[in-house]
Amino acid sequence: MNASLPCIQIKAKAKNHGLFLVCLGSGLLLIALLFTLFFWQQARLTLIFIDLVALVTCLIGFVKLMEPKISFLITPASLCYQHRHGKWHLLWQDIVRIDAVRQTCGISSQELPYLGIRLKNIDCLADNISPRMANRLIHEQRPLTLYCLLNNLMTLEQGAMNFMPYTLSDGTRIKGPIACFLHHSCALQKALGYHLFIPDTAMDRDITDFSRLLGQCKKATALYP
C-alpha cells in the first residue's frame, strides 16, 4: 500500500468489549468456584448455571479478541476488508455500487443486516481474496442463501455449493475454494443484486452511514490521479 496516500482505518463493532467480557467471565467463574467450596450442596444447580454463564461469557470475549484490530483500510486507490480468516482487496474502479441490502417482499421493503458491493466484473476477486477467507465467507453467508431460498429468489440448485471450476472472462479456469466462492457470489448477485456482502458487525457505525462514507471515498478518488 502506498504510504503517501491517506488511509482511513475502521475498527469493527464485533471487537468491542472483548477484554471486558473475558474479565467479567473470569471474575464470575472465580466467584462461583469460591462459593462452590462452601455452598455446593445447598446451591448446586445455581452454581453450575453461573459456571456455564461465566464460560460462555469468556468464550464470547475471546472470539471478539480474535477479530482483527482494523476491519477496513480505505485509501484513494482501494478498499481492503480484513477478516480473521483472511482479506479481500479491491480497486475503487472495480466497484459499481455500494449500498444497504434491501429486498421488497410484497408491499413492504426489508433491509438485511449487510452492506452490499456490486462489482464491474467479479473476475477481479479471483486474485484479490485468500482461499481461506473465500471458504469461510461461503459458510458465513449461509443465512443469506437461506433467505433467498425461503423468498424464492434462487433455486435449490443455485443455493447449493458449486465445486465446479470457475472460468474467468479471459478463459482462465479457477479451482478450489475461490472458484466455489465466485459461483456463490454470482448466485447471490442474481438474487440480491450484489457480489459481496459485509455484515454490520464489521463496521463502526450503522450501515447507511458506512455506505455513505464509502460512497464519498469512491467519489474522492478523482482528487488523487
Q: Give residue 1's pLDDT.
A: 47
How high does pLDDT run on average in the chain? 86
Q: Give residue 43's pLDDT.
A: 74
- Degrees to nearest 5, angle at CA 65 with 132 and 145: 45
Q: Give residue 107's pLDDT.
A: 67
**Bigger pLDDT: 40 vs 195:** 195
Average pLDDT in the 217-224 region? 83
Indicate if the pLDDT at residue 2 is higher than 60: no
Average pLDDT in the 15-34 region? 79
Q: Give residue 129's pLDDT.
A: 92
H helices of 40-176, in order, are 44-66, 131-140, 142-150, 156-159
